[in-house]
Amino acid sequence: MAHIQLSPLSTEKTVPFSIPRVKRQDKPAYMIGGMGFFDDTARFRAAGSAIYFDGEPNLDFYPLNKLAHERKSAYIDKLNELGEKAAKLNKKAYTPITIEGWDENADHDDLPEPKFVMMPTLNGSAEEIR
């Protein structure tokens, strides 16, 4: 089990999280890294969250199943193609981004811990304003 500090100002040192076992293989599944992100519904997904996501991943999405790995590989190929074009235009060298191959037998529990996330502790209930 890994730990993540939710806020540098938090009095709690770390909050435990574990990488879930992905049951569905028909949808790309990722663990969110980095600083988290806002999904298409403007819902914040904190680092350490595991989600099914059909959209284009980013570099802070860590694949949890083969389909997600294929989608992230396609995204990295796209970035490399654009990076090479930009490097040629600027007459500079380009170092391509790499991604390791997918291993069906691996546990995939060696994902990097997410970076610190600025997120306040929420206390009390929230009610929708109508």
Domain that includes residue 48, residue range: 2-89
Q: Would residue 127 count as lying in a domain? A: no
Report the pLDDT value the prediction gives residue 15, as an integer from 0 to 100.
52
3-class DSSP string for 36-59: CEECCCCCEECCCCEEECCCCCCC
Q: For residue range 28-47, what is the model confidence (pLDDT) as tens digits? A: 988 888 888 887 788 888 88
Residue partners of 120: CB distance under 8 A and separation at least 6: 7
Q: Would residue 69 count as lying in a domain? A: yes
| Its pTM surpasses 0.75 | no
Indicate if the pLDDT at residue 27 is higher than 50. Answer: yes
Q: Would residue 18 count as lying in a domain? A: yes
Q: Would residue 99 count as lying in a domain? A: no
Q: For residue range 62-71, what is the model confidence (pLDDT) as tens digits? A: 898 999 999 9
87 three-class SS: helix
Q: Would residue 60 count as lying in a domain? A: yes
DSSP 79: H
Q: Would residue 114 count as lying in a domain? A: no
Mean pLDDT of 78-103: 91
Q: Would residue 38 count as lying in a domain? A: yes
Q: Which residue has the higher pLDDT, 92 or 42?
A: 92
Domains: count for the chain: 1
